[in-house]
Amino acid sequence: MDIRFADPWILLLLIALPALALFAFRYRRSGGLLPFGTVAPAPAGRRTWRMRLEPMLTLLRIAAVAALIAAVARPQRGEAITRAELEGIDIALAYDVSSSMTQPFGAGVSRRDAAEDVLTRFILERDGDRVGLIVFQGSTIVLSPLTTDYHAVTEALADAPRLRLPDGTTIGGAIAGSLSVLRDSDSASRVVILLTDGDNNSDGIEPLAAARLAQELGIRVYTIGVVSPSLTNQSQSTLNVDETALKEIANVTGGTYNRAEDPGALAEIYENIDALEKSRFEGAALTRYVDVAPYLLAAAAAVLAIEVILRVTWFRRVA
C-alpha cells in the first residue's frame, strides 16, 4: 500500500503554517497585556493551568488547517492488485456431441461421459469467470450465454446429448458460434476451448477462416482432440481427428492444441489451460487508488470542533 496526492502542489500551502503559528503566538502575547493608568509595573499573577494549556488551542487550529490543506490535495491510498482480481476470464466451451462421442474411452467410460464429467468439474471450479456453452454436431447451437450461474451451465451440459442436431462435425461453425458469444465481451481475456473427436465435415464456414476471425477479435482458441487407444495396440492411438487442422487453429489464435487419450489426460488438459490463462496475469500488477480525503476532512472538522468547544467553555475569557 502507498499514498499519493492527486494535486500535490497544494501541499506548498503547508510551508506557511509555521509563520502562521509564530504570528498567532506573538499576537496572543501582545494582546494579553493589562492596561493600567500608571507606569508602575503590574503585580505578577500566578499562572493557572488554563493559562498554561491555552496555547494548545492555537496548535489545534493549525492542525485542523493542515488536515484541510492535505485533504484538498486529494490523498489517495494505492492497493496493488492483479488484473485477474479486477475481472475474470470469459470462456466459451465448444463441446462436440456427435454420435461418435458415445464410443469407448477408457474402462467402461464413453468419450461423452468423460467429457461431461471433466467439463462439469471445470465449470464448477470457476471463481468469477463467465462461462458460455456451445454444442455442435453437423450444426451449432448456443445452450448458454456468458454467465456466472455455473449450475445453470452444468444443467445445460447434461441436457446437451438429448438435442436432435444433424449428425456430423462442424468445427468452423463451432468456432463461429463461440465467437458470437464472446464478441461483445470486454474482458481482458477471452478464450474458446473446443473439444472434438472428429474432423470438419461440414459445408459451412471453414475452420481456418473462423480461426482468422478469432485472431482479429483477439480471442484465443484452445483445441482438444479426443482420440481412442488402438484396438490392436494399446500403446498407440487411433487418430480420428485432424490434428494438423486443430494445431493450425490454435497456433493462429495464440492457443494450444492438446491430445486427450484417456479421461485422466482430458482432465489434465483443462487444468493446464486454466493455469495457463491465469499465468497471463502474473506479474501484471495494477494499482487501485482510493481517495482518503474524506477522512482528512472529517478529522479537520473534528479537531476544529474540539478547539471551538474548549475555547467557549474551559478556556473562555471573562470580559
108-127 pLDDT, tens digit per residue, is 889 999 999 999 999 999 98
Out of 144-158, 251-265, 285-299, least confident range: 285-299
Residue with the three cell numbers 484541510: 68
Name the DSSP class of 10: G
Query: Domain segments of the chain: what residues?
Result: 1-10+48-73+284-319, 90-277
Partners of 131 in beta bridges: 91, 147
Identify the band that residue 202 occupies on the pLDDT scale cut at 50, 70 and 90. Answer: confident
pTM higher than 0.85: no
Q: What is the mean pLDDT of residues 251-265?
A: 94
Please state, for a pLDDT cut of 90, what percent of the chain lies above it: 44
Please work out, in degrees rounded to the nearest 5, the angle formed at the alpha carbon of residue 121 by the alpha carbons of 116 and 127.
135
The arrangement of secondary structure in 90-277, i.e. its CATH architecture, is 3-Layer(aba) Sandwich (3.40)
Return the SS3 of 53: helix
What is the residue-averaged pLDDT of the chain? Answer: 82
57-92 pLDDT, tens digit per residue, is 777 778 888 888 888 888 877 665 554 444 578 999
Identify the band that residue 307 occupies on the pLDDT scale cut at 50, 70 and 90. Answer: confident
Out of 16-25, 224-233, 291-300, least confident range: 224-233
